[in-house]
Amino acid sequence: MTITITAFERSPDGGKGLARDTRVRWALEEAGLPYDVRLVSFRAMKEPAHLALHPFGQIPTYEEDGLVLFETGAIVFHIATHHGALLPADDHARARAITWLFAALNTVEPPILELVTARIFEGDKPWSKERIPLVEERVRDRLKQLSARLGDADWVDGDFSAGDLMMVSVLLRLRPSGILDEFPVLAAYVARGEARPAYQRAFAAQLAVNAP
């Protein structure tokens, strides 16, 4: 069985590990699975061959034994369920870990994406200076709640799971803004994620492609 994922030929972040292939690389490393990477240019991402794999013209995709998946959350979930890592065996604990996977992607990430959009794609707009603090407050609202729930636990619910992998990955996107460091509980949580050997291997692998 060969697993092949796609990644940016050249990541817009220059190797900071914020492109979504890093999340999939991390899950594969936690599961101990070797994988191949096919690099895709921005132009090729919008062409029919890639759109057949990913209808929204993005990376990463995942190919394994005739199965084609897109969407990072689904790929991480597939790795977690089919390769025995990243999800607890107990039924209730497993459902809760999956809950955190969805929470990372649908509750915590959307305001963070809004902030990225506000800074990068609307940074030159006349409203940018006045609007960004509003968007930052929405991010802080979520982080306060997440920080309160995490408290002094190492991970969001018991052992490290796919939920933590995704939550840490989502929070990492905030680092350039400085907001993460306003929440010491969350900054330490992210640091615990980054300290995992599997994360470090994933980070190094994407850096090898994208180093300036």
Number of residues that bind a second copy (CB under 8 A): 46
Site string for a second copy, 82-101 (x = CB under 8 A): ----------x--xx-xxxx
Determine the Cα–Cα distance for residues 7 and 22; give it in Å rounded to an integer: 9
Q: Which of 16, 38, 78, 83 binds a second copy (CB under 8 A)?
A: 78
Indicate the residue among 5 and 205 with the shorter CB distance to a second copy: 5
Site string for a second copy, 135-154 (x = CB under 8 A): -------x--xx-xx-----
Indicate the residue among 76 and 180 with the shorter CB distance to a second copy: 76
Q: Name the nearest CA neighbour of 205 among 35, 91, 54, 4.
A: 35
Q: How far is CA 210 from CA 19, 22, 136, 193, in A?
A: 10, 12, 29, 21
Restricted to residues 6-65, the positions that interact with a second copy (CB under 8 A) are 51, 55-58
125 scored as a contact of a second copy (CB under 8 A): yes
Q: Dump the DSSP string for the chain.
A: --EEEEEESS-TTSSSS-STHHHHHHHHHHHT---EEEEE-HHHHTSHHHHTT-TT--S-EEEETTEEEESHHHHHHHHHHHSS-SS-SSHHHHHHHHHHHHHIIIIIHHHHHHHHHHHHTSTTSTTHHHHHHHHHHHHHHHHHHHHHHHTT-SSSSSS--HHHHHHHHHHHTTGGGT-GGG-HHHHHHHHHHHTSHHHHHHHHHHHHHH--
Indicate the residue among 9 and 122 with the shorter CB distance to a second copy: 122
Indicate the residue among 107 and 177 with the shorter CB distance to a second copy: 107
Q: Which of 63, 114, 182, 194 binds a second copy (CB under 8 A)?
A: 114
CB of 166 to a second copy, least distance (A): 10
120 scored as a contact of a second copy (CB under 8 A): no
CB of 39 to a second copy, least distance (A): 21
Q: Which residues bind a second copy (CB under 8 A)?
A: 51, 55-58, 66-75, 77-78, 92, 95-96, 98-103, 105-107, 109-110, 113-114, 117, 122, 125-127, 130-131, 134, 142, 145-146, 148-149
